[in-house]
Chain A
Amino acid sequence: DAKTTQPTSMDCAEGRAANLPCNHSTISGNEYVYWYRQIHSQGPQYIIHGLKNNETNEMASLIITEDRKSSTLILPHATLRDTAVYYCIVKGGQGGKLIFGQGTELSVKP
């Protein structure tokens, strides 16, 4: 599975959009980009995933560049409850384990 690079930490003001970048320059054609988050000591929570098209659900939007070498997770209106570690994970589409690398610690501040 391709390796990902994320900033170690980010701050965001409550009510503003949080944009979390991820680089995955070695992604292969059949690999998806997944985003999970982990609120302190809770089980990781699925957010969204995509292959090459932009995706949106009730939690977030995922923007994938045309060359697929990077992506951005967007939380449109961050709240204090969005404070968590966000993991960008690249893996093949058919099942398979998630490999958690160093994620981004997002702090949403009042």
Chain B
Amino acid sequence: AAGVIQSPRHLIKEKRETATLKCYPIPRHDTVYWYQQGPGQDPQFLISFYEKMQSDKGSIPDRFSAQQFSDYHSELNMSSLELGDSALYFCASSLVWGWTGGGHTEAFFGQGTRLTVV
């Protein structure tokens, strides 16, 4: 079965550079979530999109932005990178129907992008 695809798997950037992480959800899934996991930490929610609209926002720095495109893939753009941005970045997708009273599938995670800022 198709899974969540993230690219690239590894990325090395210098301080103050920009990075773009991509996420391709499971086909027919309409919701995408982004998480950041620093070394030795638990995954922290950044932002989510439902049907291409931002649906929730967590502890995402102002230097980061994200969007979901018409084909439902999502991109996380990170600017002015800092050493502390070095982390694993996970994307997850799920199918949610009737956001306020329908149903949903569980969230499935990709294998992540390891970003190293030097």
Contact = CB atoms under 8 A, between A and B. Distances in A.
A46 B111 CA distance: 13
B67 interface: no
The majority secondary structure among interface residues of chain A is loop
A94 B45 contact: no
Interface in A15-53: 34, 38, 41-46, 49
B109 A95 contact: no
Nearest to A92: B104
Contacts of A102: 42
B58 to A, nearest CB: 7
Interface in A88-110: 93-103
Contact of A43 (B42, B90, B96, B106): B90
Interface residues of A, number: 21
A96 B56 contact: yes
Nearest to A44: B109
Interface of B: 4, 31, 33, 35, 42-45, 48, 50, 55-56, 58, 88, 90, 92, 94, 96, 98-104, 106-112, 114
18 contacts: A41-B112, A43-B92, A43-B112, A46-B107, A46-B108, A93-B104, A94-B96, A94-B101, A94-B102, A95-B31, A95-B99, A96-B56, A97-B33, A97-B48, A99-B45, A100-B35, A100-B43, A102-B42
